[in-house]
């Protein structure tokens, strides 16, 4: 009986799942298996604005815009219309060479130590080259056989009680939480934690790790 991981019964949804299992008169083996699966946490990790510095990459490409740069409204800051902006930015080289934020590699390593799965979850731009550039970025770091990624604009389809989305867009996290997952917004000037955006990146990542642990 020691194998029954009562320690994981820490939130309402898990208790409901256990009760459902009992109510359906499933066998004890199956109940233990399902309970242990609750330990199986997946973190979906956004790329732009969370892992890599999209805004910094645009600055390297186009120079300083003369206006405060946010992720949203970046086209206007450079005086382009949307199409004109993306024509400049959407290249294989741009997406595959974006710099990770300071401390990201340690964060990624630590995250992998505390949860079962860490999966990059990123929305490609409208140009198909963006998806291949992002995949190249991952393969440069983790090799050709790297498989822990999902490229999709519909991140909330992945939401389950034992999943966490880490993203810089309030709406993405909101949709994910509404669909039954958990979410963490990483502070940026363009989201609801703008007042924390001045924190150093290693501090932002430490804060994020702490929040992940609280959810588990
Ligand atoms: Mg993002």
DSSP sequence for 43-71: EEE--BTTTB-HHHHHHHHH---SS---S
With contact defined as beta carbons under 8 Å apart, do 130 and 95 qualify?
Answer: yes
3-state SS class at 122: strand
Residues 6 or more apart in contact with residue 149 via CB below 8 angstroms: 119, 120, 121, 122, 134, 135, 138
Q: Quote the pTM value.
A: 0.81
> Cα torsion for 61, 67, 71, 76, to the nearest 10°?
-90
Distance 164 CA to ligand 1 centre (A): 15
Distance 204 CA to ligand 1 centre (A): 15
Distance 144 CA to ligand 1 centre (A): 24
Distance 17 CA to ligand 1 centre (A): 32
Q: What is the pLDDT of residue 77?
A: 82
Structural domain spans, the chain: 42-52+99-215
Task: Return the CATH fold of 42-52+99-215.
Answer: Rossmann fold (3.40.50)
Q: What is the pLDDT of residue 18?
A: 67
Distance 13 CA to ligand 1 centre (A): 28
Q: What is the pLDDT of residue 84?
A: 86
Q: How far is CA 181 from the centre of its chain?
A: 12
Q: What is the pLDDT of residue 36?
A: 47
Closest alpha carbon to 119 in 157, 151, 92, 143: 151
CA-to-CA separations, 77 to 28, 168, 194, 195, in angstroms, rounded: 61, 19, 19, 21
Distance 169 CA to ligand 1 centre (A): 6
Closest alpha carbon to 119 in 158, 92, 153: 158
Q: Give CA–CA dist 86/183, Å, rounded.
A: 29
Distance 121 CA to ligand 1 centre (A): 9
- pLDDT tens for the 216 residues of the chain, in order: 455 555 555 566 676 676 666 666 566 656 555 554 446 899 999 999 999 999 999 999 988 886 766 666 788 888 888 888 898 899 999 999 999 999 999 999 999 999 999 999 999 998 999 999 999 999 999 999 999 999 999 999 999 999 999 999 999 999 999 999 999 999 999 999 999 999 999 999 999 999 999 998
Q: What is the pLDDT of residue 37?
A: 47
Distance 114 CA to ligand 1 centre (A): 22
């Amino acid at each position: 009986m020691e194998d029954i991981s009562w320690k994981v019964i820490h939130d309402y949804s898990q208790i409901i799942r256990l009760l459902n299992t009992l109510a359906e008169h499933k066998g004890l083996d199956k109940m233990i298996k399902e309970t242990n699966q609750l330990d199986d946490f997946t973190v979906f990790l956004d790329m732009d604005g969370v892992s890599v510095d999209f805004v910094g990459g645009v600055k390297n490409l186009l120079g300083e815009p003369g206006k405060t740069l946010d992720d949203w409204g970046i086209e206007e800051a450079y005086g382009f219309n949307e199409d004109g902006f993306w024509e400049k930015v959407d290249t294989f080289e741009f997406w595959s060479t974006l710099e990770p934020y300071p401390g990201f590699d340690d964060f990624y390593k630590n995250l992998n130590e505390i949860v079962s799965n860490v999966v990059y979850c990123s929305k490609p731009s409208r140009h198909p080259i963006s998806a291949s550039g992002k995949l190249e970025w991952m393969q440069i770091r983790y090799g050709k056989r790297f498989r822990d990624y999902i490229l999709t604009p519909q991140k909330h389809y992945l939401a389950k009680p034992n999943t966490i989305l880490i993203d810089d867009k309030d709406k993405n996290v909101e949709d994910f939480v509404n669909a039954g997952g958990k979410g963490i917004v990483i502070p940026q000037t363009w989201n609801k934690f703008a007042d924390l955006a001045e924190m150093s990146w290693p501090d932002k990542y430490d804060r994020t790790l702490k929040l992940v642990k609280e959810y588990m």
